[in-house]
Amino acid sequence: MEKYSELAVHNFKSGFNCAQSVFLTFAERYKLDSETALKISSSFGGGMGRLREVCGAVSAMFMIAGLEKGYSEPDNFELKSEHYKLIQKLAGEFKKEFGTIICRELLNLPEGADDPIPSIRTQEYYQSRPCEKFIAYAARIIESELLNKRSENFPVQVKADQNQ
């Protein structure tokens, strides 16, 4: 199970943002070339363009969930509901481990958007950022909750109070 986590962390250490690092790891499975995968996921780094909102690793996890279990029928309420339940389950798994899916909270940053200029990637940068563990964990969730499950395990059951 560590193969995907290690590849995602390697991608991050190669200079890709959190979303790109995770999404690229699984791109080949969906017959996406690297350039396309990197472009699709490029906007989601830094909590969506350094707005520090939803963590890029989590956004990539959701994009992969769409590729794996998404819907394409706009009027199929049942499929939409099943998919959103899955997204909530994936977010819940990440939250159980880290307490939040919000980038600024994960990084202990102040409220609001960050400077749009990305940080230069140095050894000090990588040592100061906890992003590697978020990226690795998102890759583990994808593998265990999406890729190793059979279709009979879906739809994922979500507690009734989450639907309010």
Query: Looking at residue 41, what is its pLDDT?
Result: 98
Length reported for the chain: 164
Task: Tell me the H-state helices in the chain.
Answer: 2-13, 18-27, 34-41, 45-48, 56-69, 77-98, 103-106, 123-128, 131-141
Residue 163 confidence (pLDDT) above 50: no
Residue 2 confidence (pLDDT) above 90: no
Is residue 157, in this structure, part of any structural domain at all? no
Under 8 Å between Cβ of 36 and 42 = no
Is residue 116, in this structure, part of any structural domain at all? yes
Residue 85 tokens, joined: 């339940």
Is residue 100, in this structure, part of any structural domain at all? yes
Residue 111 confidence (pLDDT) above 70: yes
Is residue 18, in this structure, part of any structural domain at all? yes
Contacts 24+ apart (CB under 8 A), 117-125: 118/17, 118/45, 118/46, 118/50, 121/15
Give residue 101's domain range.
2-149
pLDDT tens sequence across 9-35: 999 999 999 999 999 999 999 999 999
Q: Is 71 helix (H, G, I), strand (E, B) or coil?
A: coil
Is residue 158, in this structure, part of any structural domain at all? no
pLDDT tens sequence across 131-143: 999 999 999 999 9
Is residue 120, in this structure, part of any structural domain at all? yes
Name the domain count of the chain: 1
Residue 95 tokens, joined: 């939250």
Is residue 38, in this structure, part of any structural domain at all? yes
Nearest to 65 by CA among 150, 160, 141, 135: 141
Answering whether pTM is above 0.85, one says: yes
Is residue 85, in this structure, part of any structural domain at all? yes
| Structure confidence at residue 116 as a pLDDT band (50, 70, 90) | very high
Distance CA 36, CA 164 (A): 37
Query: Looking at residue 66, what is its pLDDT?
Result: 97
